Structure 1
Amino acid sequence: MLSNGRISYLTTEQIDRLLEACRNDSSNYIYPFALIGLETSMRKMEILSIRLGHIDLKRRVIYIPKAKAGAREQPITAHLADYLKQHLKQVESEQVWLFPSESSESGHMVSIEKAFRRVVAEAGLDPKEVLRHTLRHTAITHLVQAGVDLPTVQRISGHKTMQMVVRYSRQNGEHIQEAMEKLEQRYRKKKEKSQ
């Protein structure tokens, strides 16, 4: 796991190990929880309180009525849309929530910590360092490292202010060096053409 002291995130290899551990776990909910977190950057309660009626696979969005920064439509990846399409074929017709819970007053799960710690350990990661919020940090960090502009990252992540998103762009990594190499290439090509 990479860290700058404030924001920790998983590498692609660690993501693969974590998702494999989720697939093999006894909980039916940990894999969809982790996949949604990694492919949307949604917060824990945003994920656990997804209503089936709020999933729009055609438009590839999930409506979040009670997000931290206000209601929003959360874009989802094509991969996640395909997964949810298959997953929804298996839910009971009267089911309201993606993560239902009969023992919860709300009708949906409110905690997934135990299963999450278990799969993190099974993936060979440290449960004290890799928390549920690490999924959100991972998604946002990889968006930034892929070169997605910060206003778009803010729209996807649902951050209220740009200042929160800027924290992710300050991390040092391969993408920073690649950006500098691109800058250098632009300058060198221009200079070579003029000679």
Structure 2
Amino acid sequence: MQNEQIISLTSLRTDQKLEESIQSLSNQKLDMYRPDFSRFLRFCQVENRKPDFDALEKYLHYSIVDQRVKLSTFNRRFAGVRFYLMHVLNLTQTEEQKKRIKLIRLLYNTEDYIRLKAMRGVRAERQEEVLQLINRYDTNKKADIRKRAICFVNLITANRPSEMVRLKVSDFDLTHRTVLVTLKKQGEMKEKRLTLECVKAIEKYLNTFNLQPTDYFVGGADRWGNYRNRMITERSYNRLIHEWLGFAPYTLRKTQITHMHRKHADLPTIAKQSGHKSLQTISEHYLEVDYSEVDKFL
């Protein structure tokens, strides 16, 4: 009888942990989409509409025709509101409603709205020019040693800001010139390669600050430049790279991807280093043809 009670309590704890994990993941999505759903609710209040999938059609059409939002914003709004309607209000989208929203999205293919499809993100720079900027910090000053190592790793790995702030010292295998990167977007770990020069910059940084395996690689720093073992926010990381190099971290990512392409790496090879799952995403949004190449044929 006592063993049965122990087994029963163990099962209850297991079930409870499962539900807590599911609830935690659901809450994360709710937090991510809450601003989009709040805008939708304001639209429904102004137009005296019930928040449902019929109202979502009107809201998305209004977003294009009246607010002239970009396609990327349209897609985010749709995903966010749909998640709330399905998982919070427990509503079901019919096949007919799905078809109608697909038709609404086709407005972006018409002459009146086609310019809203354009995605003008950060530009890639020449890798050698970016390296020159990074190597300005090739000094023996503690602050410069940290800056150079972080920027170098971000460039060579083509990491996203979300991946840089999550790196830990234990993720690096400097002997084999690799690093395990947590891909937050895909929910998996990815091994990436490092150059020999990058490894040397990392070693200098780790030794100078006496970093331990459990320490965050980027971490924080106080006003005197002393390292603090904590995971900084992506916003803080963006601000740091802007301050150190004069552009966004995504410029480092795009620069490295374009550099590999210019050296004739195929898309699967580039994806292995960048952490992309979709080769189409790389070709459509990351690879840039140098204007000097275009000029040759004009």
1:9–1:134 CA contact under 8 A, matched in 2: yes
2:153 is aligned with 1:30: no
Which residues of 2 match residues 1-195 of structure 1 at below 5 A? 5-23=120-138, 27-28=143-144, 29-69=146-186, 70-92=188-210, 94=212, 96-101=215-220, 107-110=230-233, 111-121=236-246, 130-167=247-284, 171-173=288-290
Q: Closer, same or farther in 2 for the Cα pair 1:152/1:107, shift >3 Å?
A: same
Q: Show CA shifts across 1:22-61 (max 9, x none).
A: 4579845432221111111011121222111111112211
TM-score (ref. length: structure 1): 0.69
TM-score (ref. length: structure 2): 0.47
Identity of aligned residues (%): 18
Unaligned runs of 5+ in 2: 1-118, 223-228
Q: Which structure has the larger Rg?
A: 2
Question: Match of 2:192, as an amino acid?
Answer: Q
Q: Show CA shifts across 1:130-184 (max 9, x none).
A: 311100000100000111111100111001211111126753237967xx9xxxx
Unaligned runs of 5+ in 1: 122-129, 181-195
Separation of aligned partners in 1, 2:257 and 2:205: 25
2:142–2:208 CA contact under 8 A, matched in 1: no
Pick the structure with more helix per residue.
2
2:158–2:274 CA contact under 8 A, matched in 1: yes
Separation of aligned partners in 1, 2:221 and 2:142: 18
RMSD: 3.2
